Amino acid sequence: MLAGLSLSSVAQDYQQWPVPAQLDNEMCYSPKSTHFSVWSPMAKSASVYIYKNDEAGCKPKVVKLRKMSDGTWQADVKGNWHGYYYDFRVMLQGDKEERLHSPGIFVKMVGTNGKRGYVADMSETNPEGWESDKRPPMKSFADMIVYELHHRDFSMDTESGMKNSGKFLALTEENTVTSDSLASGLSHLKELGVTHIQILPSYDYGSVDESKPDVPQYNWGYDPMNYNVPEGSYATTTADPTARVREFKQMVMACHKAGIRVILDVVYNHTYNTTNSPLELTAPGYFYRKNADGTWANGSGCGNETASERPAYRQFIIESVRHWAEEYHIDGFRFDLMGIHDIETMNEVRKALDEIDPTIYVGGEGWAASSPLYDDAKLAMKSNAYLMPGISVFGDEMRDGLRGGWQNDAEGAFLVGEPGNEESVKFGIVGAIEHPQIDYSKVNYSKVPWALQPTQMISYVSCHDDMCIADRIKSTAPKASRDEQISLFCMAQTAVFTSQGIPFIFAGDEMMRNKKGVHNSFESPDSINTIPWHQKKEYKVAFDYVRGLIQLRKEHPAFRLGNADEVRKHLAFLPVGEKNVIAYKISGHAGGDSAEELIVVLNSNKKTVELELDNKEYTILAMENRIDLSGKIGTCLGGKVRVPAQTAMILKF
């Protein structure tokens, strides 16, 4: 019998275990009774403990659960249990006592620090107007412009003008301004023109003690506890378990009203701890991969790696993203260390979300921290992206081709004039697809194209990981003046925003935020991570340039063709006579544009270079860190066009 399996036999027998039709119905409330269900097919007994409050010493009502044929243990507990808390305990064959308490694997509302589930009707958490909330319209993934932010970083600065510092509700505040009377918060995002925000993990995570809101604490949140409930430290109170749910929904609704979609960063690849995680306490031995010697596999670098290929965990992931998309109206998902998951699971995720809305975005990191304990050919690695249509992957070829490798913060690349990086940047410009003019033998990481379509590549030069771009420029060009740093920044962002991939920018980069040189600031204090909003005025040139690039991309479909054949047809790299120069032309009614011709030039040399162009009169759209789409910068005649040192130039004919 399944209940008699030993833990050592789990790896061999997990495919035989029954999987229920639903995992997301662990608690279903009605005024007359509450249904409790927990999946633990290897258990010999299971109980639900019901508490009047969330306090440690509260005496529970204990209800024995009955085993069902699908591996769940269930009970309908009569009476109105609204406002009560609960958790589960299971006992395995051979156990002398029940295992530690667990809120279950699919808990949707929790008390402080997520140790107990909460009994209530989810519909009670809907803010006013929630039923009419709609995703902002989007025709193509090529139209996306992604802005990655962390809730505390975005609103903790005293000059931000936002009252709900570090909370979900900061993104609901309208018309906020900095101490310099410049738009901040949601108004800043609208002014910038981004289409999506990607919020760092916002589910219930383990490294911040929610019971101590006045104690300085910081973490990015890549340490999951309860995957399907918002993080309490971003709510105004944890005393009311419904507050975090309601306020998260308010945040999403406010973004939607502003025309901005919301992407959730999800971390299904590992958990905060292993032995005492809800997954392990509920179904021991099932959800994680183990080495032959019985130790935890550790492809995440965080102590464990989950087993997405196992049927119940695959179903869990699929039901979880559906829960966030339907209950919270989330518009996309960024999978942390997606390379730990299997391809089939990721394709099933894409399929499930397509059934809800095919414009819901799915992307992720196409790598792992170290080799996962699974067949490489079946993993959702970047090299296998062509097997996952409709799923995007971060293009580190372009990132490191521009700024330098992630393993050495002092190593520069194209931006600082290090030759030999041109093909890696060009690889990113076309969106990691096959293109006849790229010499793939000279690309830094990938010697073959891995994307079927350009929208499978995320174009970026900076994100929460590693140094932000301002710090990286300082590290790789320590003698550069302030103006030179701005020029290198603008050139990097030109490559990102005129590429055919999905452009992505880290929050605050547009005002050249720095993290005081900290490479990995996942638990650094606010003094390191907070966006310094006064820099919006100090670095107005950088902000205006990024805003101009976004406007340029929106106004010219040629920069967002969204189709590999169209890119190959319309985008051509131009001959250049110097190293550290990249030039390309998009022409021929690209993207439905008129018969205009767009030319982008990146010159990272410390000298002006000349480029041979057709003998035409070009309108200058961008030059020397300035963008103006109306043509006020001026015009230039073809023939030999001079491109200033360490700058980008964009021309239109």
CA distance 165 to 208: 16
What is 258-310 written as a DSSP string? TT-EEEEEE-TT--S-STTSHHHHHSTTTSB-B-TTSPBP-TTSSS--B-TTS
Cα→Cα distances 398→141, 414, 444, 478, 568, Å: 19, 10, 9, 22, 18
Which 3 state secondary structure label does DSSP give 60? coil
The Cα-based distances of 88 to 27, 49, 51, 85, 550 in angstroms read: 11, 6, 12, 11, 50
**Which residues make beta-bridge pairs with 648?**
602
Counted residue by residue, the chain has a size of 653
User: Which candidate in 223, 365, 400, 466 is catalytic?
Assistant: 365
DSSP strand pairing (85-92 vs 43-51): antiparallel
The answer to whether 122 and 304 have CB atoms below 8 angstroms apart is: no
Helix %, strand %, coil % for the chain, to 5? 30, 20, 45
Q: What SS3 state is found at 113?
A: helix
Non-local CB neighbours of 241 within 8 Å, separated by 6+ positions: 109, 110, 111, 118, 120
The per-residue DSSP string of 490-521 comes to: HHHHHHHHTSSSEEEEETTGGGT---TT-S--
Distances, alpha carbon 488 to alpha carbons 416, 494, 582, 610, in Å = 8, 10, 14, 19
Q: Which of 143, 223, 336, 471 is catalytic?
A: 336
Beta-carbon contacts of 383 under 8 Å, excluding residues fewer than 6 positions away, are 366, 446, 450
Name the β-bridge partners of 118: 85
423 given a catalytic annotation: no
336 is catalytic: yes
> Angle CA(57)–CA(63)–CA(65) in degrees, nearest 5?
135
Which residues are marked as active site? 336, 365
